[in-house]
Structure formats: C-alpha cells, structure tokens
Chain A
Amino acid sequence: MNCSQIQEMLSAYIDDFLDDFEKAEVEKHIQTCAICQQELIDLRHTVSLLRSLGEVCIPEDFHKQLMERIDKGPPADMVNKHKAVKPRYMKSGIWMQIAAAVLIMGIGVGAWAYSENGPLHSYGISSAPREKFQERVALKEKSISTAEQNKPTDSSGGGITSDTARTDENIRMEDQSNYLMEGKNGQEQGDSNVENDNVGQPLPNQVAEPAEVLLGRAAPASRKVQDKVMPGQQSAGQVEPSQTNPGPDLGEDIAQPFAAADLPDGSKSREQADVVDPENVSSPPLVSALKAPAATGEVEEGIPEIASQEQVELNSETTRDEITASQSGEAGKNEVLNEGSTGSIEKRTELVEPDVIPDSVSQKVEKSDIQAATADKSAAPMSEAGSDSVKSQGSSVRSQSKWLIPSVLAILLLFLAEVAFKHFRKRQ
C-alpha cells in the first residue's frame, strides 16, 4: 500500500475500526514511513483535542426559558397519548408517496373510464349529452370524410354521399340542435315573436315554439332540404361569423360560401337556385331559400312551392305555420316573409353553436359546396371509398389513443411498485 492509501485508513486505525489485515498493513507502513507516522501523530492530537473539549456554560436564563416554554405547551400526558396513538409508519413519507400514486392512478382510471372508449362512458352523463357526445364523434368522422370528399369532387364536379348517409348526418346535426335548443327556448321565443310580428303572422304561439318544433319535429325534414338543396345558400345564411365562429380550422371553409352568398347581384345564389330541383329532392329547400333573403327573385319565388311540399311531407306545425303564412301572403309580402323566415332559420343556425359542434358547421359548408357543384349522385361510391380510407385512419388514431391511458397507468404502477420495494428493502 502506498502513503495515500495508508493515510485514508489512519482515522479508522485510531478508532480501531480496521480489520486485522488493514491494521497490520498500517502498522507495517508507519514503521518505515516518517510522513505517515507524522500524519498519524497529528491526527491523534486532533482527535484527543476534540475529545478533551469540556462542557460549555449554559446561559443563565436557559433553565427559566425552558420551563416557561414547557408551561406554555400542552400537557405531557396529552402529547404522550397523541404520540402513542400515532403509528410509526405514519412518520415515514412512504404512505404519502403511495397515497399520491394512488390518487394519480385514480384520476387516470377515471379519465379513461369516462372517456369515449372507457367502460363507464355511458354512466354519469345524462342521456342528452351522451347522445350529443356520440353524435360529436360521428360528426367528426363524417367531417373528416367529407373534407376528403370535397377535394376530388370539387375538381371533378360531382360526388355526393349517398342519401342514406346524408340523412344520418342530418339527423345527428338536428339532434344536436335540438339539444342545444333546450336551454335557449326562452330567448328564441322572444326572437321568434318579434320576427314573426314583422312578417305579420297572427300566430305567435305557434311560431314561438320553434326551439323545439323547428329543430325537433320539423327539423329532420328541413335538414334534408339543407343537405340536398341549395347548400351554397344554406351555408351563406348559416355562416355568419358572429354566430358560427367555428374556429380557425374552419375559417376558410366558411368564408368562401359566405362571400358567395353576399354577392350583390345574387349571381351565386342564382346559380345555386338553378341547381335546385324540387323533384329530385324529397323535401324542398325551405331553409336554403329562406337563408338567401335578399338574393334573387328566383329564389324567393321558389319558396312557396317548396314550402307546400314541405308542408305535406313534414306535417310540422311550425313549418306549416310558416308555409301557410307564406302561401297566404301577397306577392309583395314575399320578401318580407323571406326575411321573417330567414330569422327563424337563422335561429336554427344559432342553435348549432360552432364552439360546441364546429364540425357540423364545416360539414354543412363543405357539403353545400359539393352539392352546389352538382347533384349527381353517381359519384357517391367513389366518395364513400375515400370516406372509408379516412375512417380507417381515424380508427387507427383512436386505437392508438386507447393504449395511451393504460400505458400511463402501467408507468404509475411501476412507480408504485418501486416505492414499495424501496420502502420494504429499507426496513429490512
């Protein structure tokens, strides 16, 4: 051993804390090394000096202060009982760590269980929000597929999804509107009354219930109208920035139809009105027509016919009221009627709050563009194929997210196991 190694052991040598071999090595080295011998002497002096330090005088008021502090404190018995009751393991931080881990796991499990893919997704949520939630999922898928369809069909001039698919979408959207309307009935009633007074309709009570009637009963059919007819006009009427405000991702989709509908000469609306073929459509484009109040005479004149068809098909009180009013109205009042009806339609648009279900808005807009371009349904299979591919991508994303929370939980479990292992190892 060299001097450095020996000097490392001198402290333990003084305390006689070396094993026999080390002790022999130190003694052997010291006999031959003057430096290490001096080191040992100095170290012994240091230790003996420390050990020779005597007691220190306590301050004069030490005892008095101590007794005062004890008198001020709680009785010893109470403290002792408290101490005795408190188990030893409570003093260690292990249980706090375990509790924290369990809490985090609980939050994670809860979030997963109530998520879309969780087993408790249907619990703890009232039926309406639950349906709305499911509809939002469906709408998102649809909006993705619609966005995919939009690009090729715009260029080719054709391609709309099948009637069945669109009807499902419309029903979903309408249900959402229904749900949203429930909390806004009062406000909507007030607005309806005012606007219908302007039109001169004498039945405020019937008109005053559009919140439920328009969107609940009349809406399914009117939705067909929205989808199948006049998407450009419809979107133009619906997409008012202050009302829809669908978010940054939808801004471009919305801006285009809105600008088109605002053309002063109504050329866009006229084109869209030309596309409208009431015979090919199960429901007339009441919504679309009403949405373009100041557009063109073609659109305005088409309203009574459309409305009459709608009256027969929908058998809706509110729609019937509107239609009756429009039919009974004079030609000069058509414009006024359109304005009033537009008010009711705009109400529907307001109900579809974009911040809640922005996808539905974008869906309408995109769908409108598609339908405005052409009503040819022959391209539907192609569009559906594209939709399927998008859906498959979406499902793969969802399947990935399915594993996210279990992975986090697994990590937490590992952390918990590590903490417990350390704790028990420490105790051993």
Chain B
Amino acid sequence: MTDSDEALIEQIKNGDLNAFEQLIARYETRVYTIAYRYVGNHSDASDLAQEALIRVYRSIGAFRGDSAFLTWLYRVVTNVCKDELRRRARQNTISMDEMLERGQAPAVQTAEKPPEEAVLRKEWQEEVQVILNSLSEEHRTVVVMRDIQGYSYEEIAGFLECSLGTVKSRLNRARNLLKERLLSRKDLLLGRACQTS
C-alpha cells in the first residue's frame, strides 16, 4: 500500500528521510524534465532539479497543504529555474563556445546542417530542445511555462512579476520565433513520435 503525498509529507515533517525519498521518486523525472526544458542541457538541468528538490525538502515545513503537492513542487522548480535564467540573462556572458559546448548553438546554425545528418545525430526531442534553446532566456521561460508546464497567463504574470499584456506579447513573439525556426526543419515540425523515456 502506497502512502499518499499528504501522508508522506507529514512523515517528512517528522524527520523521515525515507518518506522524502519515496515522494521524490514519484516526481523527480518531471522535475528534471522541466529543468531541462528551461536550461537545455543535462548538466545544468541536474543541478537545478536537485537544487529544487533540496529546497522542497528544507522548506516542506512551510507547505500547508492549501494546494496539491505537485502544484507546489512545480512552483518551487519554476522559481529555481526562472531565477537561474534571469541570472544568466543579467550576466549574458556565455560565449559562443560555451553555448556550443552546452548544445545551445543558435538554431540557424543547426538548420544549416543537413537535416538527415542532424536527426541521426540527435534524438528528435533534443533537436526541438536545441531550437528551444535558441530563444532568449526571456522567451524560453514564457514558452516553457505556458506550453510545457501549462501555466495560465495569470500564473505566468505572477511568476515573472509582469503584466498580462507583457506575457501575451512575449509569448506571441516567442512562439513566432519558434515557428520560423521549426519551419526550416519540416521534419521536426511535422511531428515525429515523441520518444519519451
């Protein structure tokens, strides 16, 4: 018999680390995937996902159960990733070599390569992620929040501390950029089967 999230949370509050391990095992893949969509590489995604889960463990005493644990967990992950992307946007010191090393090369460069070769080199999802990574942190954040995590405009405005109009225009711009870059990769846009793990 598996314990509910609420029961595990109560155990965690009492200092039961095993309960936390059980709870995390249910959601860590989702947490990791969200982090990966935000930052676009496995190394950073691993660090951010772990950071978010550690923050969940350490602040679980503040969780009062007003919302579902998954909703609260997503908010924590989103805040961690959003802060990281904001920090990167402020620094804006990532060199082109570092971008290439992290697989963040602009989509235009990827698109110039032969599609077959590129597809053979990487999985379909990774190719889409590369195009996603070509967006700025600002645009990527709003796209991931809306189209990956499914947040509403109001929730996104709350996360980003901006107006609904800003969310609307920013999301429109980000989607159009993605559309233009995906159109150069018809194979991706037509939709291969999602290779989920």
User: What residues of chain A have their CB less than 8 Å away from a CB belonging to chain B?
Assistant: 7-12, 15, 17, 42-43, 45-59, 62-63, 65-67, 69-71, 73-77, 79-81, 83-84
Contacts and interface: CB of A to CB of B under 8 A. Distances in A.
Contacts of B60: 76, 80
Interface string B177-197: 011001100001111001111
B128 A49 contact: yes
Interface of B: 12-13, 15, 17, 20-21, 24-25, 28-30, 32-33, 36-37, 42, 45-46, 49-50, 53-54, 57-62, 125, 128-129, 132, 143, 146-148, 150, 153, 168-169, 171-172, 175-176, 178-179, 182-183, 188-191, 194-197
Contacts of B46: 58-59, 62, 65
Contacts of A53: 37, 125, 128-129, 148, 194
Nearest to A79: B58
25 contacts: A10-B172, A11-B171, A11-B175, A11-B176, A45-B182, A45-B191, A46-B182, A50-B147, A53-B128, A56-B32, A56-B197, A58-B32, A59-B42, A59-B46, A65-B50, A66-B24, A66-B50, A67-B17, A75-B15, A76-B57, A77-B61, A80-B13, A80-B60, A81-B61, A83-B58
Nearest to B150: A51
Nearest to B147: A50
Given A53-B125, A75-B15, A58 B29 contact: yes
Nearest to B132: A50
Nearest to B51: A69
Contacts of B168: 11-12, 17
B28 A46 contact: no
- Of residues B25, B36, B176, which shows the largest number of chain A Cβ atoms within 10 Å of its Cβ? B176
Contacts of B146: 15
Nearest to A67: B21
Interface majority SS (helix, strand, loop, mixed), chain A: helix
Given A43-B179, A83-B58, A54 B196 contact: yes
B15 A77 contact: yes
A63 B26 CA distance: 12
B194 A54 contact: yes
A63 B32 contact: no
A70 B17 contact: yes
B61 A62 contact: no
B172 A11 contact: yes
A62 B49 contact: yes
A77 B54 CA distance: 13
B182 A76 contact: no
Contacts of B20: 70, 76
A76 B32 contact: no
- Of residues B21, B54, B128, which shows the largest number of chain A Cβ atoms within 10 Å of its Cβ? B54
Given A62-B50, A76-B57, A80-B61, A56 B36 contact: yes
Nearest to B154: A17
Nearest to B45: A56
Given A70-B57, A73-B58, A55 B49 contact: no
A46 B197 contact: no
Contacts of B21: 67
Contacts of B195: 54
Given A55-B29, A59-B42, A59-B46, A69 B61 contact: no
